[in-house]
Amino acid sequence: MLYRKCLPMLSVAALASQVAGQYQAIPPSMGPFFDEATLGQLGDFGESNTGVDPATEIASWYDMTDVWRTAQKVLSPAVWSRVAGGSGHEESMRWNSHIFEYITFRPRMGRDLGNASLATSVTLTNGAGVAATFDSASPFFISPSGSHGVVNPQVAENGTVRAAAAAGVIAGIAQYATVPIAGLGAIKSENQTYWYQLFPDANWDPDAVLAKLDAAKAAGCSALILTVDTASEGWQARAWRDHGDDPTGNTQQHLMTWEHIEWIKDNTDLPVILKGILSVEDAVMARDMGLGGVYLSNHGGRQLDGAPAPAQVLMEINKYAPGLTSAIPVFADGAIYSANHALKMLALGAKMVGLGRPVQLSLTMGQAGVEKMLQNLHDDMLVEMRQVGVSSPSQLGLKNINTQRAVGFVYDGELQ
Ligand SMILES: *[C@@H]1O[C@H](CO)[C@@H](O)[C@H](O)[C@H]1NC(C)=O
Ligand SMILES: *[C@@H]1O[C@H](CO)[C@@H](O)[C@H](O)[C@H]1NC(C)=O
Ligand SMILES: *[C@@H]1O[C@H](CO)[C@@H](O)[C@H](O)[C@H]1NC(C)=O
């Protein structure tokens, strides 16, 4: 049985027993960002380490490598592989991060940065053309990612959304959340923003879609993240191997055509953000259809291995459809492991950047873990944004980066 399908059947006790202390030291030369495939194949997670104190761990987090070390220390090999791993040979997962090395900043000096702020707002338009503006303390948001109860059965998504509220950032709520949507609605803070992620069912069922939208609205969700990259679930060999899953018959998960997308846009008053877009043509179609936003993502390298990195897609958009990123808000995720990755995405035209694995892995240390991870990114971003020479994320643009070494990665054929 596939992992995702069996998650809801795991009891909290069974989940907790998986969160056994297992420790595999990461060789110092291997950053967890770039050698995940190798790490996954090391196999022997050997000696246990159950004496993990969250406060001590969190106090030792300086950047995302520390979060990764803690998570690998506490998660069972099967859970670690599921969260830290990707699909296939994990080429897209590594590429999401690698591509940033081909882009450098063009820092400017002597600017007045005394009022520098990360405050960000984004305006989304629904199918009827009604606009709504959402404020965030920073351009980071929580990407919807499923089953937070697997990494932390004690708090699950409750820890995630409370950390998002404390940090003042928007929380994407996954359809496959461990905590039912109504439960998350019950703990939503007054001024907090939730956006709901919808995967339509394998068999198109308009009534089921409407029921999910009603439940999301009742829980206070104010936009829809419609995920369109799961025609089939990714071939997540590493996670399946370590969990003993049988992938036989894993051929189709969700049906989603442009007709369905348009139907959803026309049948909800929530703005629709289309998630999983990986080409300029599809971004243009989303814009022309009047959707609320375009969300570039290769699902953290968990769907099609060999899919382009979102940063690469932004360059493709800038080449073939300049102006698109100012006509419709563009979101992006994929290896936002440091402020400089975020700054480069924003300079390329993303309005906000999402965090998936960083949230899952920091949640191993509870709400406080997610808060610390977000705080580090926030502070790092202020530092690096000043060093680039701008005082607001909205001032970032192509002038702030040099993509010359990366242009060879941009599609050069005819558009279809
Ligand atoms: C999350 O919060 C909801 C609402 O208070 C509660 O019903 C549920 O038990 C909580 N779940 C966890 C895992 O803490
Ligand atoms: C919510 O926002 C309003 C308006 O900005 C503010 O007056 C109020 O204090 C906020 N409430 C909370 C709980 O943050
Ligand atoms: C800071 O002040 C400058 C000059 O008044 C202004 O151009 C800039 O937009 C301000 N930045 C922020 C983040 O308010």
Domain ranges of the chain: 121-407
Please tell me whether residue 258 adopts helix, strand or coil conformation.
helix
Ligand 2 site, residue 191, Cβ cutoff 6 A: yes
Does residue 98 carry a catalytic annotation? no
Residue nearest (by alpha carbon) to ligand 1 atom 8: 183
> Do residues 372 and 57 lie in contact, with contact meaning Cβ atoms separated by under 8 Å?
no
Q: Determine the residue of 115, 381, 382, 388 to mutate for testing ligand 3's pocket, defined as the one with the most ligand atoms within 8 A of the Cβ atom.
A: 115
What pLDDT score does 51 carry?
Answer: 66
For ligand 2, atom 1, name the residue with the nearest CA: 191
What are 333's strand-pairing partners? Answer: 354
pLDDT value, residue 6: 32
- Six-digit token string for 120: 């960000």
Give the Å distance between the CA of 223 and the centre of ligand 2.
20
The closest ligand to the CA of 135 turns out to be 2
The DSSP bridge pattern shows strands 272-277 and 221-227 to be parallel
The predicted model scores a pTM of 0.88
So what's the pLDDT on residue 406?
A: 96
Which residues, judged by CB distance below 6 Å to any ligand atom, belong to the binding site of ligand 3?
A: 115, 117, 391-392
Measured in whole angstroms, the distance separating CA 68 from the mean position of its chain's CA atoms is 16
**Spatial contact of 309 and 298, defined as CB atoms under 8 Å apart:** yes
Ranges of the chain whose pLDDT falls below 70: 1-51
Report CA-CA distances (Å) from 120 to 101, 168, 192. Answer: 26, 11, 14
Determine the pLDDT at residue 345: 98
Q: What pLDDT sits at residue 250?
A: 73
For residue 334, the CA-to-ligand 1 centroid distance in Å is 29
Q: How far apart are CA 272 and CA 243, in angstroms?
A: 35
Q: How far is the CA of 276 from the centre of ligand 2 (A)?
A: 33
Return the CATH superfamily for domain 121-407.
Aldolase class I (3.20.20.70)
Tell me the ligand closest to 392's alpha carbon. Answer: 3
